[in-house]
Amino acid sequence: MMKLRRKILIKIMVYLLVSLSVMLTAGFIYEWAGSRQDEKTFVPVGKLYEVNGRNMHLYTGGRGDTTVVLSSGWGTANPYVDFYPLYKGLESSVKYAVYDRFGYGFSDATSSKRDIDTIVAEIHELLTVSGQKPPYVFVGHSLGSLETIRYAQKYPDEVKGIVLVEGGSPEYYASRKPLTLIPLIQGFLVKSGVVRVLYHFNGFAEGIADQRNGLRLLPEDLKELDRVSTLMKTGNRNMIDEMRLSRDNAETILAGGKPLPVPITVLTADYFGHLSNDKAWKEYEAQLPSWSNSGKQIIEPGTSHYLHHYRPDTVVKEILLLSVQ
């Protein structure tokens, strides 16, 4: 009887493994075929510039004497899509430039290490070769705060001010173990076709964008571009390396010293009244203005981590206050 049960159990396990292998193979093929189709419509909206032998994407617009440089957070597949609520509000008053780091948006992937000084040097080169002129007001979201602060450390004469939109402090990232498992899981779910299948279910796109206000402020064409970008860019090697080096990058910035001789405005989400649930984030956000000789914090009610998708008017107002000084 025991031998019979063992044989049945082995058969069940073999059946499950074979079924799983078939499903995964079908998923990878489905994703491969879908990505080939997506590539046909994935056309840069701005311009590509050669930086260190690879192409970086920059989308620009607006008018004025100051250029607002928009720095996206980690894992934000397409910065051009993500910052739509901001540059639409800025274009009548200032120039703006939305850049895609390597591995993001319409930029290539790169084999260069994702340490903070390499990233900042690439941004500086991109702004230079594309003909942008300082002074710049940098706007950094989430992990993008590190490159904005480091840019001001490396090129202080070019930076007029910084607005951090739910930007983490160097002290915060230096105290956290990098969550490298997250991009690995994300990458597997995309490459195996799981995410592409889930996009066919009503509410999935809005659900994974719950911290971006369910994409309510985006027009339909940008929602579609967000879907394609998510499928094409999520969990790539540059994103993984960025996360892996986040603590080291924060420590590099800490060693660079503070305060900076430029004004910094820190915009913090109240997470719909639940900011206190993350004590560490709340405390480090309160300390973040100390990175400037003239820093301030604003806690914005009724918002989540992608604060600019809930209160773009507030963010635009604070950007313009620094731009016209």
For residue 193, pLDDT beyond 80? no
Query: Would you place residue 304 in the very low, low, confident or very high pLDDT band (cuts 50, 70, 90)?
Result: very high
According to the model, what pLDDT value does residue 255 have? Answer: 97
Better pLDDT: 159 or 12: 159
Query: Would you place residue 250 in the very low, low, confident or very high pLDDT band (cuts 50, 70, 90)?
Result: very high
- Nearest Cα neighbor of 139 from 225, 77, 66, 227 is 66
For residue 21, pLDDT beyond 70? no
According to the model, what pLDDT value does residue 234 have? Answer: 92
User: Picking from 10-19, 154-163, 200-209, which range would have the lowest pLDDT averaged per residue?
Assistant: 10-19
Residues 106-120 have pLDDT tens digits of 999 999 999 999 999
Work out the average pLDDT over 1-6. 57
According to the model, what pLDDT value does residue 197 have? Answer: 81
According to the model, what pLDDT value does residue 206 have? Answer: 86
Work out the average pLDDT over 249-261. 97
For residue 261, pLDDT beyond 80? yes
According to the model, what pLDDT value does residue 231 have? Answer: 92
User: Picking from 29-33, 109-113, 194-198, which range would have the lowest pLDDT averaged per residue?
Assistant: 29-33
Query: Would you place residue 27 in the very low, low, confident or very high pLDDT band (cuts 50, 70, 90)?
Result: low
